[in-house]
Structure 1
Amino acid sequence: MSAAAEPGARARAVGIVLVSHSAEVARSVAELARGLAAGGAVAPVAPAGGGPDGGLGTNAEEILTAVAAVDRGAGVALLADLGSSVLTVKALLEDGDLPAGCRLVDAPFLEGAVAAMVAASAGADLEAVAAAAGEAYAYRKA
């Protein structure tokens, strides 16, 4: 389901874009985060994964399309998995290709995505969404 057509999506919620080297990973993490944040209105989330040829890699055009799909005017949090995904988002921000209110969030990809979705779905602003995602670094499993 596309982020633009999500039933119950908050009108002015912070949007979330998940940038991965793998289209399947980006879609799966978006699906998991959406499912774990469910229970009411869910913030818009879009995956942006894989290279232009459909293989592994990063695609700037897909990131721009994903941002446009989730931008509701409250800002967009971008979470990237590693390496060139991070560099591509940074380049888009530095070049002014992303709309105002877009922010690369320093957070673990999976746990950060879930925390960001929960916060955004609860109506948090971009700063609080970024903080919630970043706090996922402190999650301990043992």
Structure 2
Amino acid sequence: MTNVSIVLVSHSAKLAEGIREMIHQMVGDNVQVAAVGGNLVGDLGTDPKRIRGGIEEVWSDAGVAILVDLGGAEMNSEMAIEALEPRRRSKVVICDAPIVEGAVVAATEASGGSSLAVVRATAEAVGR
């Protein structure tokens, strides 16, 4: 069984890497997690091409859940999703959840083999 994968999109590469490390220590390695932080030159920011690369890096036919830190990260994630081929586009969602707590519960849910819809709902429940 292939699990839903997670993409962490932060304006800070260190923040994204730190959350990925936390997930691996708390949840284990049976969920693929991409950390996409910073812009193309290594400064604070986000970039649709880098986000798309993160999606491709951890691609799973079960789906990919994206968690973001700020509005610009969400906008660039939407652009990255739009650049995917239609078959893949429908299997990628952005979770409206706090990036740290949402990512940990999403990865925990994904590690049990839950569907993309359940992973998303679980992450988004944290923010309510």
* TM-score of the superposed pair, with normalisation by structure 2: 0.91
* 1:62 aligned residue (25, 34, 50): 50
2:126 paired residue number: 136
Displacement after TM superposition at 1:70 (Å): 0.9
The residue identity in structure 2 corresponding to 1:55 is D
Deviations 1:25-84 (A, max 9, x none): 00100110121112xx52111101101110100021111111011112111000110021
Mapped pair 1:125 → 2:111: no
CA distance in 1, matches of 2:30, 2:44: 29
Structure index of larger Rg: 1
CA distance in 2, matches of 1:71, 1:91: 17
Alignment RMSD (CA, Å): 1.3
* TM-score of the superposed pair, with normalisation by structure 1: 0.82
CA distance in 1, matches of 2:49, 2:78: 14
Identity of aligned residues (%): 36
Aligned length: 124
Query: In structure 2, the residue corresponding to 1:72 is in which secondary structure?
Result: coil
Task: For structure 2, list consecutive stretches of 5 or more residues without a partner in the other structure.
Answer: none
CA distance in 2, matches of 1:15, 1:92: 16
Which consecutive segments of 4 or more residues in structure 1 shift more than 3 A?
A: none
